[in-house]
């Protein structure tokens, strides 16, 4: 896929553009083409049982009209993919995957259905190319969408992690209230032939709110401010949900087994000193750490130094006015408030404070509003 990195105006530099795009989403409303997310249509009498085995959390009680975030692990307990799955009917679900993981996730599902769980009556079909997804995000997104839809958008009728069927700009659509920015957001799904018409309608009606198209780099900054992971960037095939602080998405008392359940209980997977996801704040807020940079606890130790982790994501946060980073650090969950040192390209060690990975709106008030 080719996706816009950013949308510069006139003579704007990339940093100026990213600042404008980020602040527009945080303060007004932004629009993003999210059509590249993988979409897998799952149907059949045993669809819920299948999801219970594939995902780490419980899907038995997800009602029609609701969505849930799920983690998918390999047999050894390591995170494989993540995404939001919506219940369209009692035996009908739509699963979203990471953009890069769409094909491998479908292969993964089919492999288990065809070789291990052939008794399950479930059918999976890729519909990634059939549905376009246009996300609007920001404080004015509800006002904007209300002008062109017949869906009731009041929070009492349409809350966070709900989805609704209706029309948008006169076009049949599924609208999902999910957020990858931490702001009030709506993801509008329409048949691909109507994508341009929906985009144009949103741009036209959004002019009064100073709507701003934003690209993938702004998307990355916004999600990092909220501590949202990207599989393959903040994970490397060697981290469990617990390492990422996502053990809340692992069912503790499931009456059935799921992929990775036994793997993540191995002695090595429950060590306190495993590499774990944390946030980093450089002592000098102007310094942006390089992604992939190695981390040490003691910068004065003899060489070769003992590396205890690395930076996975690093950006300048316009809303916070400083640099932020996510990193995998040995025993990181128990080191909050400590100072670690990050190697830079100038043979320097940059001090940084270990902090929680959620930098902005930790209570989630904005996305739930």
pLDDT recorded at residue 18: 98
Quick one: average pLDDT of 359-367?
Answer: 96
Average pLDDT across the chain, whole number:
96
- The tens digit of pLDDT for each residue in 166-217 reads 999 999 999 999 999 999 999 999 999 999 999 999 999 999 999 999 999 9
Burial 260-269 (b: 16+ CB within 10 A, else e): bbebbeeeeb
Question: Any residues with CB less than 8 A from the CB of 337 and at least 6 apart, and which?
Answer: 353, 354, 355
- How does strand 212-213 pair with strand 339-343? unpaired
- The tens digit of pLDDT for each residue in 207-248 reads 999 999 999 999 999 999 999 999 999 999 999 999 999 999
Lowest mean pLDDT among 231-235, 256-260, 284-288, 319-323: 256-260
CA distance 296 to 344: 12
pLDDT band, very low/low/confident/very high, at 40 (cuts 50, 70, 90): very high
Q: Kindly tell me if the per-residue pLDDT of 354 is higher than 90.
A: yes
Q: What are phi and psi of 265, to 5 degrees?
A: -100, 0
CA distance 6 to 214: 6
Q: Kindly tell me if the per-residue pLDDT of 145 is higher than 90.
A: yes
Q: Kindly tell me if the per-residue pLDDT of 1 is higher than 90.
A: no
- The tens digit of pLDDT for each residue in 5-32 reads 999 999 999 999 999 999 999 999 999 9
Bond from prior residue into 99 cis (ω within 30 degrees of 0): no
pLDDT band, very low/low/confident/very high, at 254 (cuts 50, 70, 90): low
pLDDT band, very low/low/confident/very high, at 2 (cuts 50, 70, 90): confident
Q: What residue has token string 């009731």?
A: 152
Percent of the chain with pLDDT over 90: 95
Q: Helices 14-27 & 216-225, crossing angle to 10 degrees?
A: 60
Half-sphere exposure of 335 (CA within 13 A, CB side): 26
CA distance 325 to 51: 33
CA distance 101 to 203: 30
Q: Is 359 within 8 Å of 320 (Cβ atoms)?
A: yes
CA distance 86 to 45: 16
Question: Any residues with CB less than 8 A from the CB of 26 and at least 6 apart, and which?
Answer: 138, 183, 222, 318, 319
pLDDT recorded at residue 303: 87
pLDDT recorded at residue 187: 98
Q: Kindly tell me if the per-residue pLDDT of 255 is higher than 70.
A: no
Q: pTM for the complete prediction?
A: 0.95
Cα dihedral 189, 194, 195, 201 sign: negative
Question: Which of 15, 18, 2, 10 lies closest to 214 in space, CA to CA?
Answer: 18
């Amino acid at each position: 896929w080719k996706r816009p990195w950013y949308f510069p105006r006139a003579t704007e530099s990339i940093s100026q553009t990213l600042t404008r795009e980020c602040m527009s989403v945080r303060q007004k409303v932004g629009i993003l083409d999210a059509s590249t997310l993988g979409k897998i249509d799952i149907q059949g009498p045993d669809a819920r049982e299948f999801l219970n085995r594939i995902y780490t959390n419980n899907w038995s009680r997800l009602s029609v009209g609701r969505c849930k975030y799920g983690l998918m692990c390999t047999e050894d307990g390591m995170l494989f993919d993540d995404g939001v799955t919506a219940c369209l009917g009692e035996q009908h679900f739509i699963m979203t995957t990471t953009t890069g993981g769409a094909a491998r996730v479908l292969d993964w599902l089919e492999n288990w259905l065809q070789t291990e769980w052939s008794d399950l009556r479930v059918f999976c079909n890729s519909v990634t190319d059939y549905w376009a997804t246009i996300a609007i995000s920001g404080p004015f997104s509800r006002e904007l969408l209300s002008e062109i839809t017949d869906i009731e958008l009041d929070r009492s009728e349409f809350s966070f992690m709900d989805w609704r069927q209706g029309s948008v700009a006169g076009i049949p659509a599924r609208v999902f209230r999910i957020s990858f920015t931490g702001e009030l957001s709506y993801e509008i799904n329409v048949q691909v032939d109507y994508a341009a018409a929906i985009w144009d309608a949103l741009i036209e009606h959004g002019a009064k709110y100073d709507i701003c198209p934003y690209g993938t780099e702004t998307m990355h900054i916004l999600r990092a401010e909220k501590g949202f992971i990207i599989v393959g960037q903040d994970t490397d095939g060697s981290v469990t949900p617990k390492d990422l602080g996502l053990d809340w998405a692992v069912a503790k008392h499931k009456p059935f087994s799921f992929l990775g359940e036994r793997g993540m209980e191995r002695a090595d997977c429950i060590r306190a000193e495993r590499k774990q996801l944390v946030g980093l704040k450089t002592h000098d807020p102007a310094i942006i750490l390089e992604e992939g940079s190695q981390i040490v606890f003691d910068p004065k130790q003899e060489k070769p130094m003992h590396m205890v982790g690395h930076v996975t994501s690093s950006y300048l946060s316009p809303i916070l006015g400083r640099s932020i980073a996510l990193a995998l650090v040995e025993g990181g969950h128990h080191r909050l408030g400590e100072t670690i040192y990050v190697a830079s390209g100038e043979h320097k060690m940059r001090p940084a404070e270990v902090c929680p990975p959620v930098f902005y709106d930790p209570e989630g008030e904005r996305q739930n509003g």
